[in-house]
A and B are shown apart, each in its own frame.
Chain A
């Protein structure tokens, strides 16, 4: 029996078996765990009235995330955000340590490390021009 005849025999079943195997591979691969480094965006909450974070005081941050590949893919689309709470902060330098604690991720994912791990930001009073 030549190769083409061998392939043509029960072709539908063979093609579907291949498709099934490919989907199974994709599924198993996506269910496997991995690590992914993502740029970390920072959002500030509860900033005291009349203060603003100096834009150039924040370094470029990245976070390494661990979890299933499918969730990592989803997180990659959504991006990673750390919410820093400025409640009670006074104008000047404010230091945040162990930034992993502030990273918000999809359930099932966990932040392994943030680089840099600690950041200092400068909180400035807003200029009085615009105020009465």
Chain B
């Protein structure tokens, strides 16, 4: 069969097509499947339209499509900048997953999450705003450059004291990595999503913004209403009571820390 293909002159074009298909697939696997499919539907259509325009002598249409194809890569980067950013960030996923300390037993992880929930509701009762980020598989190192090193055990008292209004590091978010409170006063990227409810303030927008880019889980305590919310994957679950918060944290964090 290879001999036949070699003789017909189709072997190398076939290898060429399969290699390009593999590269396209690998690159687009990094972005959302729906985004990738949109790109993959439009790109062949544009290429085919350009060829047809040239074949049928539509000079200006062919010229326009040719110029558009020449800058297509740039256009794709602009159109899908958030997906690309998320994809690039996800490249660090395996590094963190491989370095997760697995010495946390189920009971210890449960205790950490319990402290976290207690801190959230203690702050909520006093109408003190808080932003608590829990790293899961994806590294959050690039969001921690501005923060202050803490490196402490996660306790309700420490978290509460960080967010007290007269604390010098109460502004920004605290970050919990591998079961330890590693940073405080970190600034998170705000969401650019215009569909986010207007009543949500900067703290909630920062939580949504971060979770759009990373797989982290964020607990937000509203300063105005005292409501406790959990944000993951850009989606917010608001007005949680202690039981639901604990359940949610156990379901969304515990399996990742114990894996």
Contact = CB atoms under 8 A, between A and B. Distances in A.
Interface in A96-117: 106-107
Interface string B44-74: 1001101100110101000000000000000
A6 to B, nearest CB: 12
Given A13-B36, A26-B51, A74-B55, A18 B17 contact: yes
Contacts of A25: 13, 16-17, 20
A21 interface: yes
A13 B54 contact: no
A17 B20 CA distance: 8
Contacts, number: 73
Contact of B48 (A23, A71, A73): A23
Nearest to B26: A17
B33 interface: yes
B41 interface: yes
Interface string A58-69: 000000000010
Interface string A70-82: 1101100000000
B14 to A, nearest CB: 9
A20 B40 CA distance: 6
A79 B71 CA distance: 34
Interface string A8-30: 00101110111111111111011
A82 to B, nearest CB: 21
Contacts of B41: 16
A10 B40 CA distance: 13
Contacts of A13: 25, 28-29, 33, 36-37, 40
A30 B17 CA distance: 15
A80 to B, nearest CB: 16
Contacts of A26: 47, 51
B17 A70 contact: no
Given A16-B40, A17-B40, A19-B40, A24 B25 contact: no
Interface string B1-28: 0000000000001001111111011001
A23 B43 contact: yes
Nearest to A27: B47
Contacts of A70: 51, 54-55
A21 B20 contact: yes
Nearest to A78: B57
A12 to B, nearest CB: 6
Contact of B28 (A17, A23, A73): A17
A16 B17 contact: no
Contacts of B51: 26-27, 30, 70
Nearest to B21: A21
A29 B20 CA distance: 14
25 contacts: A10-B33, A13-B33, A13-B36, A14-B25, A16-B36, A16-B37, A16-B41, A17-B28, A18-B18, A18-B21, A20-B21, A20-B24, A20-B43, A20-B44, A21-B21, A21-B24, A23-B44, A24-B20, A24-B43, A24-B44, A27-B50, A29-B13, A30-B51, A74-B55, A106-B57
Interface of B: 13, 16-22, 24-25, 28-29, 33, 36-37, 40-41, 43-44, 47-48, 50-51, 54-55, 57, 59
